[in-house]
Structure 1
Amino acid sequence: MTKSERFGIIERILHSRRGVSFIELRQRLEVSRATLHRDLRDLKERMQVPIVCDRDTGLYRIDSSVERYELPGVWFSAGEIHALLSMQQLLAAFDAGGLLAEHVGPLRQRLLGMLESASDSADDIARRIRILSAAARHYAPQHFQHIASALMERRRLNIQYVARSNGTGSEREISPQRLTHYRDNWYLDAWCHLRDELRSFAVDSIKTVKAIDAVAQEIPEAELDAALGAGYGIFAGKVQAWAKLRFTPERARWVAAEHWHPAQECWFEESGSYVLRIPYADHRELMMDILKYGADCEVLEPPELRTHVVAQLAMAVKKYGNAVVSPSSVSDGDSENTDGARRLSR
């Protein structure tokens, strides 16, 4: 029987009886005196369960003078607690604005109290987990909270939104549908009553938020996915075309392990090259992902996408003038050892 199971049994016995003797608890749990003493101590000190021992009768009971106390609905093993604390550390890095801190904090303190070993402290876990955000944009936490509240309460919002593409601002009434965290940034999928269609708004581009006393228009999830999730990346819209990309054998090992789109099709060629076929509605984000692979990625189709990429590469070359680069001076970008581990300089 695990410690978590014993905790559950003790809690149920004390709840169902006005008093239970130490001997009876030992017999029910089939443990030593020392083990039961530790369990009772941990329940009282770490779990804040108001267990008292009546001096006159020697019976253990729940202190009825405590108006309210709360026991965890699920008991965890030490390994599970470590995993939960690790996830909390991930959440702390993920939640850069501290939006969930006030809600997660008490849970974290309770989990810390449940740890049996001081060698696995929260500081140790924080030191062993590192989250790097490459391109996270700053947003106003208070806007996020208003948006989240409107989402759950199904209320409309009035927002001032600045389009990052051209810098123009507009005031819109929207019915929020869902929040999406994508590539280290937050987006709000909503029905825009100004444009009378579904739109995806970057939360960091929302300058003001005001709740409206009106019920949000509900959009079926299937319609949301069809309008906002069918294309490639964050750009909304119905699929306009399918891109067919070929990656060199050197990059195939990395790309083959990546998931670009739920409907992607992929296969290896005899040469070792990797072919990836994905749908898209807007070429802009897809083209950025293609260009980051440089000469290791070739657009096979459609011709329109290939033309866009060629034009971008030509403009990039033009910026460097008549610079001459010998093949031997170009690194293949492989910073891994033969065993697949990244090199770290000291």
Structure 2
Amino acid sequence: MSKTARVYKIELLIRNRGHVSFQTLLEELEVSPATLKRDLEYLRDQLGAPIEYDRFLNGYRFLQEYRGHKHELPGLWFTERELYSLLMTNQLLSGLGSEGAISRHLQPLLDRIHELLGPSESDVKTLFKRVKIIGSTSRPVSATVFELLGEALLKRHRVHLRYHTRARGTASDRDVSPQRLVHYRNTWYLDAWCHTRERLLRFALDAIEDATQLDVKAKDVSLKQVEAEMDGGYGIYAGGHAYWVTLRFSPNAALWVSREKWHANQKGELQPDGSYELSLPYTDPTELAMDILRHTGEVSIVSDTGKVADIVRNRIANAFSMIAVKDH
């Protein structure tokens, strides 16, 4: 039994029985007297548990002022396995951070987990070495911008942005009301109400040249509306008219694609011949076309109400044209 489990059980036994003798604790925990003494000291000195030894009762109990009140040790509702899971979650979030911004704010929680596990319970550094998280094509975001937007999001304040629009190659100033931070394919985005355009827009955080939090209350948009307007497209593209495409994957690709989630509103069905048909909406065909091209030779487009089929055909034709030129 781990130290975390033992100290939790000690606290639980005293709470349920009123007082518990040293011998009873030894029998319940199945540890040596020296280990039990260390656990009791850890409970009182490190975790601040209000436990005292009563000579008349020959047992341990809560201090007088805590009797009759429910007492819980902070954090001890986690098992050791759950604490390890939290450590793994911290490492994952660290990989999503902007110059370590997320990890830095989670450090107090991480320190607390280390304290609960105890220095003799695990070698966290060794544990981390055996978990590797690989990120690709990430676009770095200024930690200052990331933290400012996070604070404005929580405090519900407006933000003034100097934003670079890649498509036009221009920068503009605008005031926005942050609604939601989105992490997608190693890049951070902000869903916000733009007071210049008077509608919801999605901003890439790495394209923000400067940001200033304003002492003005943000416009509140319900999350239901944000999801309805921003999550209808494919990938990171939001808003606009939704088109639908139906793809048919070969039996060879169907085994894997049938387990993938391309869109929250997708519709998939295995066919009698083992192929797999996938129907999904999109607003901008760019990203969807790229994902379809990953399966070239294993996928065909059954129907399309937009232009993704045209883009896929053109890119395949251009690719073969380039190959022909090189061969020549």
Distance in 1 between the 2:271 and 2:55 partners?
Answer: 82
Q: Is residue 2:174 matched to residue 1:145?
A: no
SS of equivalent residue, structure 2 residue 76: coil
Say if 2:288 and 2:308, in contact at 8 Å, map to a contact too. no
Task: Write the mapping of 1:71-82 to structure 2, written as runs, cut at 5 A.
Answer: 71-82=73-84
Structure 1 outlier segments of 4+, above 4 Å: 10-13, 25-30, 32-37, 50-63, 116-119
Say if 2:54 and 2:61, in contact at 8 Å, map to a contact too. no
User: What is the letter of the counterpart of residue 136 of structure 2?
Assistant: A
Q: Which residue of 245, 263, 266 corresponds with 1:264?
A: 266
* Residue number in structure 2 paired with 1:340: none
User: What is the letter of the counterpart of residue 321 of structure 2?
Assistant: K
Q: Is residue 2:177 matched to residue 1:180?
A: no
User: What is the letter of the counterpart of residue 314 of structure 1?
Assistant: A
SS of equivalent residue, structure 2 residue 265: coil
Task: Write the mapping of 1:214-293 to structure 2, written as runs, cut at 5 A.
Answer: 214-293=216-295
- CA pair 324-7 structure 1, distance change in 2 beyond 3 A: farther
Task: Write the mapping of 1:43-192 to structure 2, written as runs, cut at 5 A.
Answer: 44-45=41-42, 48-50=46-48, 71-115=73-117, 118=120, 120-192=122-194
Structure 2, unaligned stretches of length 5 or more? 64-71
Offset, 1:43: 5.4
* Residue number in structure 2 paired with 1:311: 314
Distance in 1 between the 2:132 and 2:40 partners?
Answer: 33
Say if 2:6 and 2:29, in contact at 8 Å, map to a contact too. no
Distance in 1 between the 2:33 and 2:152 partners?
Answer: 49
Offset, 1:229: 0.7
SS of equivalent residue, structure 1 residue 100: helix
Q: Is residue 2:44 matched to residue 1:41?
A: no
User: What is the letter of the counterpart of residue 271 of structure 2?
Assistant: E
Say if 2:7 and 2:40, in contact at 8 Å, map to a contact too. no
* Residue number in structure 2 paired with 1:338: none
* Residue number in structure 1 paired with 2:9: 6
User: What is the letter of the counterpart of residue 227 of structure 1?
Assistant: E
- CA pair 211-32 structure 1, distance change in 2 beyond 3 A: closer
129-138 or 96-105, which deviates more: 96-105
Say if 1:226 and 1:238, in contact at 8 Å, map to a contact too. no
User: What is the letter of the counterpart of residue 203 of structure 2?
Assistant: F
User: What is the letter of the counterpart of residue 258 of structure 1?
Assistant: E
- CA pair 11-54 structure 1, distance change in 2 beyond 3 A: closer
- CA pair 143-295 structure 1, distance change in 2 beyond 3 A: same
* Residue number in structure 1 paired with 2:201: 199
User: What is the letter of the counterpart of residue 256 of structure 1?
Assistant: S
- CA pair 32-308 structure 1, distance change in 2 beyond 3 A: closer
Q: What is the TM-score normalised by the length of structure 1? A: 0.79
- CA pair 271-32 structure 1, distance change in 2 beyond 3 A: closer
SS of equivalent residue, structure 1 residue 322: helix
- CA pair 104-37 structure 1, distance change in 2 beyond 3 A: farther
- CA pair 251-54 structure 1, distance change in 2 beyond 3 A: closer
* Residue number in structure 2 paired with 1:66: none
SS of equivalent residue, structure 1 residue 242: strand
Say if 1:178 and 1:190, in contact at 8 Å, map to a contact too. yes
- CA pair 85-279 structure 1, distance change in 2 beyond 3 A: same
Offset, 1:130: 0.8
SS of equivalent residue, structure 1 residue 31: helix
Structure 1, unaligned stretches of length 5 or more? 64-69, 326-346
User: What is the letter of the counterpart of residue 31 of structure 1?
Assistant: E
- CA pair 40-153 structure 1, distance change in 2 beyond 3 A: farther
162-171 or 215-224, which deviates more: 162-171
Alignment root-mean-square deviation, CA: 3.4
Distance in 1 between the 2:88 and 2:303 partners?
Answer: 43
* Residue number in structure 1 paired with 2:212: 210
* Residue number in structure 1 paired with 2:66: none
Q: Tell me the matched-pair count.
A: 314
Say if 1:300 and 1:306, in contact at 8 Å, map to a contact too. no
Offset, 1:284: 1.2
Distance in 2 between the 1:40 and 1:75 partners?
Answer: 22
SS of equivalent residue, structure 1 residue 186: strand
100-109 or 211-220, which deviates more: 100-109
Offset, 1:213: 1.2
Alpha-carbon displacement from aligned partner over 1:195-245 (angstroms, at most 9, x marks no partner): 111001011111111011111001112211111011211111144211111
